[in-house]
Amino acid sequence: MVPSKQHKRVISLEIDSRKIRDGSVEPTASTTPQRYQLTRDDRLQIQVLRTYAGLTYEQIAQRTGFTIRQVQSACQANHPTPQKRKGRSLFLKSEEIDRLIEYVTRSRYTRRLSYSELALHLNLNCSKLAIKSALNSRGYFRYLACRKPPLSQINKTKRLTWAEEHINWTLNQWKTILWTDESWVLKGRHTRTWVTRKKDEVFEDTCIVERRVRSKGWMDGAPGHGAQATQKRIREHGINMIHWPPFSPDLNPIEMGWNWMKDFIQANFPDNLNANDLRIALKEAWEALPESFLEELIESMPERCKAIIEAKGGYTRY
C-alpha cells in the first residue's frame, strides 16, 4: 500500500516529535506568521506535537509561532480539518435575487431602502455587500433620485392632451408666445435621495422625488396671474391667454433660461449678495442672456411635446 501525502506528513511529524522528546533536537521557534484561522496542516502539526512529543501548549506555541489560544483550540478539536465558518452568506441564490428585485421595484419606499435595510425587510441572512452584488448582477445600481413635480393620472391626461394639440405647431406660432415663469435665486443645500434602479429607469414613477412647486406657464393658476387687475392689463396689451397644463415645467422652455442666469450669477458675483445687489445681478444676467440660446429653447417645443406623448403624459428628460 502506497502511503498517502497525509500519512507521509504524519510520519514525518512523528519522527520530529521523537527527536524532540529524546532531546536530540531542540524545539525552535517557527517563522510561520500568526494567522487568523489555522489550516488543516497547521492543526495536524499541533496535534502531533501534543500527542506524540508531549509538548505543552507554551512549547508548541514557541515552536510553531502560533498563539497559545490557537494551539489549545487545535488540540481540543476532534479532527484537524477546520470547520466551515458560520455567518452571513456572501451570495444570493437566483430565486432570492428574483424576490429581491420584485420587492425593490414595488414602490417609491422600497426603491429608497439601503442595502442593509433590504436585507432586514426580506429577512435575508446576508451582508449588504451580497445585496449590492446581487442587484448589480441584474443591472440595478444606486442613483440620485430625479426631482420632478407630482403628477397624478388626471395631470398626466391633461399634459398628454395639451401636447397632442400643439405637436404640429410651427416655429412662428411658438414665437408668438409670451413665456412667463417665477423662480428663486437663493443659496442653500438640499437633502439628496438615493434610489435603486436600472440606468434607463431615471423617469420611472417609483424613482422620482416629487418637488412640490406651483404649476408653471402662462395663466398657471397663481394668485397674481388670476387677479382681475392682471387680466385687465393683459387684455389691454392685446395678449391672448393660453392655459398651460399643471405641473409641467418641462413644457416651459424659460426654465432653462433661469438655469443659465443662475450659472452666470454664480460665475460673476460673490456668494454673499444682499437683496439689492441680487437684483442688480439678476438684471445683468438677463441682459447677458443670448437671444440665440432663447431661440434654441423655443425650437425645442416640438420635441418636448413629442416626449410627453411618448411618456403618455408622464415624466420626460426636459
Burial degree of 162 (CB within 10 A; 0-12, 13-18, 19+): buried
Residue 96 Cα to chain centre, angstroms: 21
pLDDT at 83: 59
Share of the chain above pLDDT 90, in %: 26
pLDDT at 7: 52
pLDDT at 190: 39
Q: Does an H or E element contain 4, and which?
A: none
Chain-wide mean pLDDT for the chain?
79
Burial degree of 79 (CB within 10 A; 0-12, 13-18, 19+): exposed
pLDDT digits over 191-234, tens only? 578 888 898 888 888 888 876 544 333 444 454 455 677 777 77
Burial degree of 4 (CB within 10 A; 0-12, 13-18, 19+): exposed
Q: Point out the least confidently predicted range of 4-13, 97-106, 130-139.
A: 4-13
Write down the pTM of the prediction. Answer: 0.53
pLDDT over 70 at 187, yes or no? no
* Torsion, CA 224, CA 230, CA 235, CA 240, rounded to 10: -10
pLDDT digits over 117-133, tens only? 998 888 888 888 999 99
pLDDT over 70 at 23, yes or no? no
pLDDT digits over 133-179, tens only? 999 999 999 998 888 888 889 999 999 999 999 999 999 998 888 88
